[in-house]
A and B are shown apart, each in its own frame.
Chain A
Amino acid sequence: MKLRNVLFITIILIVGCLSNDLMAQDALKAMIKKCESLDNVEMSVVRKKNKETLKVEQSITTITINVSNKALIDEFIAACEKDEPSAYEVIYSKKKGKVIPQFFRFKNVNFSFSYNNNNFNFTLDNGKYKTKKEETLNITMIEN
């Protein structure tokens, strides 16, 4: 009876640890998934495959959000706060008086956030190209 109880508790602990790892970056991953369907977000997904094994060895997802999209940026910051306890490396930086996440590392995935104010947005207006310099937030997710 005792042995059965010990085994049961061991299994529960192992399952708990594994599920903790699996759920570690759920909020951030959910945000990345959400961005796939948004119109005002640019996204690129790069999958690097190993030539020998033909398996994906690294997946890089980058998202570019215009800083004017404050609601979406706030959602990302909230997701960071939710996943922070599961991250084992966290870097925050201060920008314009606001503390924002810069880097989160989890077991097999890491997220980095950077502001870029050298983005040029080209739009066609009456047959002529107009350029507009805009600041963007770039979010990169690297999965190994």
Chain B
Amino acid sequence: MMTHYKYIEELLKRFFDGNTSNKEERELYIFFSGKDVPEHLKSYIPVFDFFETGMDKEFNTCRENNPKVKKLTPNYKKWITLTGIAASVLLLVAVFNKVIKNDGTFNPYEGSYIIRNGEKIADIELIRPELEATIAKVFKQQEKLNKILANVNPTDEFDRIKQEIENQYCELVNSFPDEITRKKVSEILNVECY
């Protein structure tokens, strides 16, 4: 019995140091809840009674005063899932459109139309000859305009050729020994050579 009390005292010491296992604590609770507690250890009975039942009471009181707060799950996981589903659906729709719509028939004039007497005609096969005639007419018009613009804005190639011709003329002019002949040749060729 004495050894048992010594064991209990040892356990008590370790209990208050926080070094007891659950099993050892359970032993202490059973001991102090029994009737054979020695006098010198009876002061510890209320302590183990508190630990056994008081903590539960306190916890329940606390729970009554503060209702349990629902644990929030991170919303971002939900949003990531929803975004992934939306992206997959969009990708499927895009692939579907490309595969189904790209059935091999390509119409280069798709979207073209004619308005005549206030009426819009969009049947490509019906107006195709007229569209092609318009393109041909516009092409000729653009050629004509490009010629006009070329006269106003000579290209670099044009300037280069012109300069080369003038250089050849000047070589010819300078090949004459006397100044009077050189002047006459310059007037005929309409160049100024220095």
Shortest distance in angstroms between B13's beta carbon and chain A's nearest beta carbon?
71
Q: Are A46 and B117 closer than 8 Å at their CB atoms?
A: no
With beta carbons under 8 angstroms apart, the residue of A42, A46, A114 that contacts B141 is A114
Q: Are B148 and A46 closer than 8 Å at their CB atoms?
A: no
Q: Are B109 and A48 closer than 8 Å at their CB atoms?
A: yes
* Any A CB within 8 A of the CB of B145: yes
A46 to B149, CA, bound (A): 25
Shortest distance in angstroms between A37's beta carbon and chain B's nearest beta carbon?
8
Q: Are A44 and B134 closer than 8 Å at their CB atoms?
A: yes
Shortest distance in angstroms between A40's beta carbon and chain B's nearest beta carbon?
8
* Any B CB within 8 A of the CB of A86: no
A47 to B138, CA, bound (A): 13
Closest residue of B by beta carbon distance from A52:
B106
* Any B CB within 8 A of the CB of A56: yes
- Tally B residues with Cβ within 8 Å of A: 25
Q: Are B109 and A142 closer than 8 Å at their CB atoms?
A: no
Q: Are A91 and B145 closer than 8 Å at their CB atoms?
A: yes
Q: Are A140 and B141 closer than 8 Å at their CB atoms?
A: yes
With beta carbons under 8 angstroms apart, the residue of A37, A45, A102, A142 that contacts B138 is A142
* Any B CB within 8 A of the CB of A100: no
* A interface bracket (residues with beta carbon within 8 Å of B): 20 to 34
- Chain A interface SS verdict (over half): strand
Q: Are B134 and A46 closer than 8 Å at their CB atoms?
A: yes
A39 to B116, CA, bound (A): 7
* Any B CB within 8 A of the CB of A103: yes
A37 to B117, CA, bound (A): 10
Shortest distance in angstroms between B124's beta carbon and chain A's nearest beta carbon?
10
Q: Are A43 and B114 closer than 8 Å at their CB atoms?
A: yes
Name B72-121 residues within 8 Å CB distance of A: 106-118
A140 to B111, CA, bound (A): 18
Q: Take A48-B109, A51-B108, A114-B141 as given contacts and tell me if A89 and B134 are in contact as well, using a CB distance cutoff of 8 Å.
A: no
Closest residue of B by beta carbon distance from A93:
B148
A41 to B111, CA, bound (A): 20
A16 to B107, CA, bound (A): 39
Q: Are B110 and A42 closer than 8 Å at their CB atoms?
A: no
* Any B CB within 8 A of the CB of A49: yes
A36 to B113, CA, bound (A): 11
Q: Take A62-B138, A103-B145 as given contacts and tell me if A39 and B117 are in contact as well, using a CB distance cutoff of 8 Å.
A: yes
With beta carbons under 8 angstroms apart, the residue of A39, A42, A47 that contacts B109 is A47
Closest residue of A by beta carbon distance from B135:
A46
Extra A-B contacts (9), CB below 8 Å, given A43-B116, A44-B130, A103-B145: A37-B118, A42-B116, A44-B131, A46-B135, A47-B109, A49-B110, A54-B106, A89-B149, A142-B142
Q: Which 10 A-B pairs have the closest CB atoms?
A: A47-B111, A43-B115, A39-B118, A44-B114, A46-B112, A46-B131, A47-B112, A49-B108, A103-B145, A44-B134
